[in-house]
Amino acid sequence: MNQPRPEYPRPQFVRDTWLCLNGEWEFEIDHGKSGRERKFFERERLDGRIIVPFCPESELSGVNNKDFMECVWYKRKITYPWSGSMKPGDRTVLHIGACDYLCEVYVNGKPAGRHIGGYTAFSFDITDMLSEGENDITIRAEDNLRSGAQPHGKQCSGYYSAGCSYTRTTGIWQTVWLEARSASYIKETKYIPEPGKNRLIVEAFCENAHGMTFGASVSFGGEFIASESCVIQGDGARLIIDLDDNIHLWAPGHPDLYDLRLSVTDGSIEADSVESYFAMRSVAYDPANHRLLLNGKSIFMRLVLDQGFYPDGICTASSDGELIADIKRAMDMGFNGARLHQKIFEPRFLYHCDRMGYMVWGEHGNWGLDLAGAAAWQGFIPEWLEMLRRDFNHPSIIGWCPLNETQRNQNPVLIETIYHITKVYDTTRPVIDCSGWCHVITDIVDAHDYNQDPVTFKANFDRLMQGEAVRGIADFVKEIPADLSFVSEYGGIWWQPDNPDKGWGYGNRPGSEEEFIERYRALTDALLDNSMLCGFCYTQLTDVEQEVNGLYYYDRRPKFDPAVIKAINTRKAACED
């Protein structure tokens, strides 16, 4: 069997020596959560089999168990992959792209570490636990979906999927891999482009490298541009790299990327090197004029809601090509980006957005987390910070939206804290605190409106051009202030002609394909023609299970001629320069 998802999982931070561990693992469901007591981490075998990185609920995993699994175990034996080639002090690190929700790792029966959070990557240095020859890796995942203390996004808390909640994801659902690196290494970086000054700021965090030299070399299209270096002080290094006057700006239609090579050297000896990339682009929001500015020019966000669900892999695409294909499907219909909705998407998806010129908003899967409860801080903030640190350098991300459609009794101090943490870490992008209706503190006021009547839909948002507030769609939000500038969910038009009485969607179903197109056109025209709006987001790219308001079916067949939708979406907006 070919190895699933064999591609390098972290394309913006590449080291040469690595080993993909995707494929068949031993697997067992621990219904009583007694596996620790029974010492599964010391057992020779587990009872079942699974294909990693697919969750056990999925067909591609080979398990296909749709019931609740509050605890699962994985086990695999590996041969120490680079025995004999490691330099003294070199380290071996185990990476897990994502594991839902509380994960514990054992190597040769010894605990290697634990991680809380179902969406972000984590790693453990396992060097001192490995031995020559065969080694045993055991992974335990605990997933208490219905606790109210963990965010789970669109995973359904009932047995059957219903409404806009879908099949659950338990345990490992992104690539597991080993990496070799030196004892002195680059841990993480921040790239801050300043196009107006023709320069890039690089901030690096290094381990065991005080007094060594941090270097960065920039090229574009294979041609050398510039390089800089500095001495690492403690664990930090900061470079300002002046580029040439011929700056290549990143934008939809022109996704120009610079190549970047980073290194740590000790005298003449290179201790570590990383291949990376960055883009020169700036994002800002002009509140006085209701404009989103990309590279100083007004741009209209023609976004589509992307849930990131797949019929065979649930939250995991079957191949890297499927990630690319979903971006292309959206672009074929005239969208220039997406709200990545209620899920933290994998780095390879963001990499393809970067290189294809596709704008996205980064969002957490906050549904399922009680934002009024005391446990909400621990259940959200650590993982949100992990996402900011992992994804900051992706130029395709034009804004952050930590929370979506939050509850009325949410703790406002928590919301303010999340907003300020995001702004402190990232001064280069706008932040929407809580998309939908319950704003506390936000850079951009947005709204969700699934009104299916184009006449009243348009009349409501036309009030903005008179300086008036608009009608709210939630019972507890009677109106949205006049500084609203982004309709971040609309449409959601039902269309499933093969089985019109089955499924779920918003509002009344059109009677024909022609009626669908005309409704889509009228709703979208109302937003394009509104001079106070800087973007829309249509719900949604594809159907997901019983939710049938996608422009594509769940199997990715188009419901309509993409060229027809593209012609509607790409008409010039009132706010565009």
Identify the pLDDT of residue 478.
77
Same domain, 211 and 322: no
List CB contacts of 508: < 8 A, sequence separation 6 or more.
452, 494
Range of the domain at 24: 18-181
CATH of the domain at 95: 2.60.120.260
CA angle 372, 165, 173 (to 5 degrees): 95
Which CATH number characterizes residue 213's domain?
Answer: 2.60.40.10
Q: Is the pTM of this model over 0.85?
A: yes
Most distant pair of Cα atoms in the chain: their distance: 74
Q: Is 465:532 a contact under the CB 8 Å cutoff?
A: yes
Residue 318's contacts (CB-CB under 8 Å, 6 or more residues apart) are 4, 60, 310, 312
Per-position b or e across 530-542, b if 16+ CB within 10 A of its CB: bebbbbbbbbbbb
Q: Give the end of a domain, one of 229, 244, 278.
A: 278
Q: Beta strands 434-435 and 403-404: pairing type? A: parallel
Domain count of the chain? 3
Decide if 114 is inside a domain.
Answer: yes
Buried b (16+ CB within 10 A) or exposed e, 356-389: ebbbbbbbbbbbbbbbeeeebeebbeebbebbbb
**Is 544 strand, coil or helix?**
strand
Domain boundary among 181, 199, 215: 181
Distance, in Å, from the CA atom of 203 to the CA atom of 192, rounded to the nearest integer, reads: 8
C-alpha 244, offset from chain centre: 32
In a domain, 289, yes or no: yes
Residue 106 and residue 123 in one domain: yes
Give dist(CA 452, CA 494) in Å, integer.
10
How big is the chain by its Cα radius of gyration, in Å? 24
Q: Is the domain of 173 the same as that of 190?
A: no
Examine the domain organization and report whether 436 and 508 are in the same domain.
yes
Q: Is residue 131 domain-shared with residue 28, that is, in the same domain? A: yes
Phi, psi torsion values for 360, nearest 5 degrees: -140, 155
Q: Specify the 3-state DSSP secondary structure of 214.
A: strand
Number of Cβ within 10 Å of residue 268's Cβ equals: 5
Is there a domain that residue 13 lies in?
A: no
Phi, psi of 515 (to 5 degrees): -65, -40
* Domain identity same for 341 and 307: yes
Q: Kindly state the helix (H) or strand (E) to which residue 52 belongs, with its residue range.
A: strand 48-52
In a domain, 7, yes or no: no
Residue 4 to residue 52: CA distance in whole angstroms:
8
Relative orientation angle of helices 513-528 and 562-569, to the nearest 10 degrees: 20
Residue 83's pLDDT is 64
pLDDT in tens for each of the 577 residues of the chain? 689 999 999 999 999 999 999 999 999 999 999 999 999 999 999 999 999 999 999 999 999 999 999 999 999 999 988 766 667 778 999 999 999 999 999 999 999 999 999 999 999 999 999 998 899 999 999 999 998 899 999 999 999 999 999 999 999 999 999 999 999 999 999 999 999 999 999 999 999 999 999 999 999 999 999 999 999 999 999 999 999 889 999 999 999 999 999 999 999 999 999 999 999 999 999 999 999 999 999 999 999 999 999 999 999 999 999 999 999 999 999 999 999 999 999 999 999 999 999 999 999 999 999 999 988 999 999 999 999 999 999 999 999 999 999 998 999 999 999 999 999 999 999 999 999 988 999 999 999 999 999 999 999 999 999 999 998 776 777 788 889 999 999 999 999 887 777 788 888 889 999 999 999 999 999 999 999 999 999 999 999 999 999 999 999 999 999 999 999 999 999 998 7
Nearest to 536 by CA among 362, 338, 365: 338
Question: Taking a C-beta distance cutoff of 8 angstroms, is the pair 123, 99 a contact?
Answer: no
Assigned token pair, 270 = 């290179």
Amino acid letter, 436 = G
Task: Please state at what angle helix 347-356 crosses helix 376-391, rounded to 10 degrees.
Answer: 40
Q: Is the peptide bond before 101 cis (omega within 30 degrees of 0)?
A: yes
CB 397 within 8 A of CB 339: no
Same domain, yes or no, for 309 and 400?
yes
Shared-domain flag, residues 172 and 24:
yes
Q: What is the DSSP code string of 264-333?
A: EEETTEEEEEEEEEE-B--EEEETTTTEEEETTEE--EEEEEE---BTTTBTS-SSHHHHHHHHHHHHHT
Q: Are residues 380 and 368 in the same domain?
A: yes
Domain closes at, from 278, 294, 314: 278
